């Protein structure tokens, strides 16, 4: 873990602590207590189909890799998210763990890293229309808020982000290749630049694969709004589906800017406080909802990492016995 990530993580924890003091620890605890263990179990189980679809989106990109199978990519996505959300690493740590999980399933590190890099682009692209929908939902709920200028700016930025990769696709391909090779270099003799070039040639010859990945990720973002709606209701904070959509999309949009902060510590909570304030939801309840999502991630992530570590150990033992 680099010093920059360490400093960012510590700063994020400081922001989180300040928000808890500002919101009131008692109010946060009361709202979180309303959720209970049963509620936590419900939101954890509801998140599994979302992770499954994200794993399927990843597999759609890398389906022609040697040894590729949907269940391997689903498991790798679980490991990737578990490491990113529960360990004090940067997002890169989660990416490395995900590629390693695929490698244990006999999918080459180069192919796993390449497919993941493309999958990340599809996931980010899918967030753009979701964020725009959130802004439109906010305008529908609060027409007095003057956001038309911001909406136009977001539309322009979204069109640019969609157009730039196409116009500069050669440079983007090169950047993705370099990033994937950097991740896969942790496992030597598992691929080459020629393999990376062949992968992109096959992928770009089948644009429907990219479109399917984009659509699947967009579905996942929309399901995130449904998850948010459930969390609010389980905590005794009824919101309408449209309000849940606006809160989730805007919060996830703001969280995007915190990619350098491990697990978006503090940034996620601050985003919830800012967005929820637009709907009259108290800071204590906003922080409690964010912490409920974190509790869900830990509930799923800790067992996943334990199983992954066991599999890693067994693989090392098997290799040592050969």
pLDDT digits (tens, 9 = 90+) for 211-230: 999 999 999 999 999 999 99
296-to-28, 82, 156, 292 alpha-carbon distances in Å: 16, 11, 35, 6
pLDDT digits (tens, 9 = 90+) for 139-194: 888 765 555 455 555 555 555 555 555 554 556 566 566 666 666 565 554 555 56
Mutual orientation of helices 193-204 and 169-184 as an angle, nearest 10°?
A: 130
3-to-6, 8, 88, 89, 97 alpha-carbon distances in Å: 5, 8, 12, 11, 20
90-to-5, 253, 298 alpha-carbon distances in Å: 6, 18, 16
What is the domain partition of the chain in residue ranges? 46-262+293-321
pLDDT at 24: 64
pLDDT digits (tens, 9 = 90+) for 253-305: 877 766 666 666 667 888 888 888 888 888 888 888 988 998 999 999 999 99
| Verdict on whether the full-model pTM lies above 0.75 | yes
pLDDT digits (tens, 9 = 90+) for 15-74: 666 666 656 667 777 777 888 889 999 999 999 999 999 999 999 998 888 888 999 999
79-to-99, 124, 199 alpha-carbon distances in Å: 9, 19, 24
């Amino acid at each position: 873990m680099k010093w920059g990530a360490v400093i960012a993580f510590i700063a994020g924890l400081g922001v989180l602590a300040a928000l808890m003091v500002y919101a009131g620890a008692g109010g946060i605890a009361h709202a979180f207590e309303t959720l209970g263990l049963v509620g936590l179990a419900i939101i954890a189980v509801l998140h599994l189909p979302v992770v499954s679809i994200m794993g399927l989106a990843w597999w759609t990109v890398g389906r022609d890799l040697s040894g590729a199978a949907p269940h391997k990519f689903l498991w790798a996505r679980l490991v990737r998210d578990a490491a990113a959300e529960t360990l004090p690493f940067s997002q890169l740590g989660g990416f490395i763990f995900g590629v390693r999980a695929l490698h244990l399933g006999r999918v080459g590190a180069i192919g796993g890293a390449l497919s993941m890099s493309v999958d990340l682009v599809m996931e980010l692209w899918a967030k753009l229309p979701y964020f725009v929908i959130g802004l439109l939902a906010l305008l529908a709920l609060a027409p007095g808020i003057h956001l038309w200028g911001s909406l136009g700016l977001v539309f322009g930025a979204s069109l640019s982000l969609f157009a730039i990769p196409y116009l500069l696709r050669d440079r983007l391909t090169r950047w993705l290749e370099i990033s994937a090779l950097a991740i896969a270099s942790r496992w030597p003799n598992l691929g080459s630049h020629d393999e990376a070039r062949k992968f992109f040639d096959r992928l770009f010859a089948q644009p429907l694969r990219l479109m399917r990945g984009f659509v699947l990720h967009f579905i996942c973002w929309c399901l995130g709004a449904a998850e948010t709606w459930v969390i609010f209701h389980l905590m005794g904070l009824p919101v309408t589906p449209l309000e849940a959509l606006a809160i989730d999309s805007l919060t996830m949009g703001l969280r995007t800017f915190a990619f350098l902060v491990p697990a978006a510590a503090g940034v996620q909570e601050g985003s919830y406080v800012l967005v929820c304030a637009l709907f009259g939801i108290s800071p204590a309840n906003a922080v409690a909802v964010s912490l409920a999502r974190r509790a869900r991630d830990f509930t799923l992530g800790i067992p996943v990492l334990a199983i992954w570590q066991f599999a890693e150990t067994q693989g090392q033992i098997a290799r040592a016995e050969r």
